[in-house]
Amino acid sequence: MRIRTRMIWLGLVAIMAAGGCTSDVKNIERINYASAIGIDYRDGKYYSYVQFIDMHSEAKTSEGTKERAKIWLGQAKGDNFEDAVFQLYRSAQERIYWGHTTAIVFSESVLKDGFKSIYDSITRYYEFRFTPWVYIARGSVKDILQTGAFYDQSPLNTILHEPMGIYSQTSLIASVKLHRMIREMREPGYTSHIPTISLEKESWSQNGKKKTMMIIDGAVFVKDGLVKGYIPAKQLSGLRWLEHTTIRAGVSVPREDHPAVQMVVDKPKAKIVQVEGGTYPKFDIRVKGDAYVVNESNNSLSNLGKLTHATEDTIRREIEELYETGVKKNLDILNLEYNLFRHHYREWHASDHWDKRLLTGEALRNVDVRIDVTHASAAKNRKRG
């Protein structure tokens, strides 16, 4: 009787386990993992692109080697973003999982014409997270999502998905995650920037053949949810001195076209301070940081005092040129208005049209840069004499 009862219970457990496996458990190879999303808007239609991870090329074979990485790209169009995505569902073969998405690439037209509806869709669906990196495509969104990495590695090993590797070596334009972009767009008086990404075809080659790679080539500036303009990277050198995320910034001293010394500044800190008095607000910017020499072309700046002064002067000039660029393009790149909103709210609230008042070319009164040259790399921890 005991044996019979035990056999019945074992049978019930087996039936329950089998039922659970068929209804609740899903093998990982039977799910399409979206790694990046691309969204374009043209001719009144939304174009959605989804980059997938090839799980077989990600895993090692029995010999310990990897297959060549394969990029799968789904694309569809619709009257809105959701319609385009549902078109993809129809031919996806297996369920699409969105929780592993680490990058979103918008065309500039999306920000101008339809970002609000896309943001609403992404935030409502529970699988989407707020942590993907966000970029604006300069060129074809589709081509960017189809571009691979070095050594036929996974597309995850690119600046599209991992921008911080390059940024930690040369901090120029800070990458932005979705949650930060949304927060900054909602801040009154704040001018946010979104990195632009494009394809570069000249710097790299493989077996003598040119290799197309991704590059962050500038930034699009947005205020109050509206696109205000694009500025290429070569005109944004001064932005890195104001970013609190800057890790390592290289600067040619005394100037880029005729450098005598190549300096590196680690984790510079900046502060914007309003100057009291006057009809219109004026500001001082204070920057400080530690620097060291990485290359010396000649001995014209061998004296520590001269080198320090020249480095400070170069950084000061980059910040002033950034402000002048903003004045020409009617962009509050330095976020002087946001400084008013945060620290002088009554003054900010009492008036409007701050763009016109702060972009006259006179709002930036002084840029004070203090750099401590700690060593010359070749003899670390030894001050230059």
Is pLDDT of 169 > 70?
yes
Least confident of 45-49, 138-142, 280-284, 380-384: 380-384
Task: Return left, alpha or beta for 263; rule: phi > 0 is left, psi -120 to 50 is alpha, else beta.
Answer: beta
Cβ contact 10:4 at 8 Å: no
- pLDDT in the model for residue 111: 82
Q: What percent of the chain has pLDDT over 70?
A: 85
pLDDT bracket for residue 198 (50, 70, 90): very high
The pLDDT value given to residue 216 = 96
Q: What is the pLDDT of residue 294?
A: 87
Report all structural domains of the chain as residue ranges with CATH numbers, in order of start: 28-235 (no CATH), 237-385 (3.30.300.210)
pLDDT score recorded for residue 380: 44
Nearest to 59 by CA among 101, 37, 20, 28: 28
- pLDDT at residue 141, as a whole number: 95
**pLDDT band for position 317 (cuts 50, 70, 90):** very high
Highest mean pLDDT among 50-64, 66-80, 232-246, 346-360 belongs to 232-246
Q: What would the pLDDT profile of 320-354 be if each residue is shown by its tens digit?
A: 999 999 999 999 999 999 999 999 999 898 888 88
Q: What is the pLDDT of residue 64?
A: 56
At residue 382, the pLDDT reads: 47
Please check the confidence at residue 379 and state whether its pLDDT lies above 70: no
Decide: 222 and 113 in contact? Cβ < 8 Å. no
For the segment 6-26, the average pLDDT, to the nearest whole number, is 55
* 57, pLDDT greater than 60: no
pLDDT score at 74 = 93
Quote the pLDDT of residue 122. Answer: 80
Q: Of 126, 116, 104, 128, which Cα lies nearest the Cα of 80?
A: 116
Give the pLDDT confidence score for residue 114 in this predicted structure.
Answer: 66
Most confident by average pLDDT, 113-117, 277-281, 290-294: 290-294
Buried b (16+ CB within 10 A) or exposed e, 246-283: bbebbbbbbeeeebbbebbbeebebebebeeeeeebbb
DSSP 68: P
Angle among Cα 360, 174, 48 to the nearest 5 degrees reads 105
Once rounded to an integer, what is the mean pLDDT over residues 277-285? Answer: 86
**DSSP E strands: which ranges in the chain?**
31-42, 45-52, 72-78, 95-97, 103-107, 133-137, 176-177, 191-206, 209-223, 226-232, 248-253, 261-275, 282-296, 364-375
Residue 281, pLDDT > 70, answer: yes
pLDDT category at 23 given cuts 50, 70, 90 is: very low
How does the average pLDDT of the chain come out, rounded? 85
Of 49-63, 90-104, 152-166, 201-215, the poorest mean pLDDT is in 49-63
Is 73 in contact with 146 (CB distance < 8 Å)?
A: yes
Select the more confidently predicted residue: 253 or 353: 253
Mention every residue, 6+ apart, whose C-beta is less than 8 A from residue 294: 250, 262, 263, 264, 377
Q: Mean pLDDT, to the nearest integer, of 119-124? A: 79
Lowest mean pLDDT of 10-14, 189-193, 319-323, name the range.
10-14
For range 86-108, the mean pLDDT: 91
CA distances from 46 to 75, 261, 298 (A): 11, 50, 56
Which residues lie closer than 8 Å to 311 by C-beta, 6 or more apart?
A: 251, 253, 263, 265, 291, 371, 373
Round to whole Å and give the CA distance between 363 and 70: 52
State residue 55's pLDDT score.
62
Q: By C-alpha distance, which of 204, 182, 384 is closest to 296?
A: 384
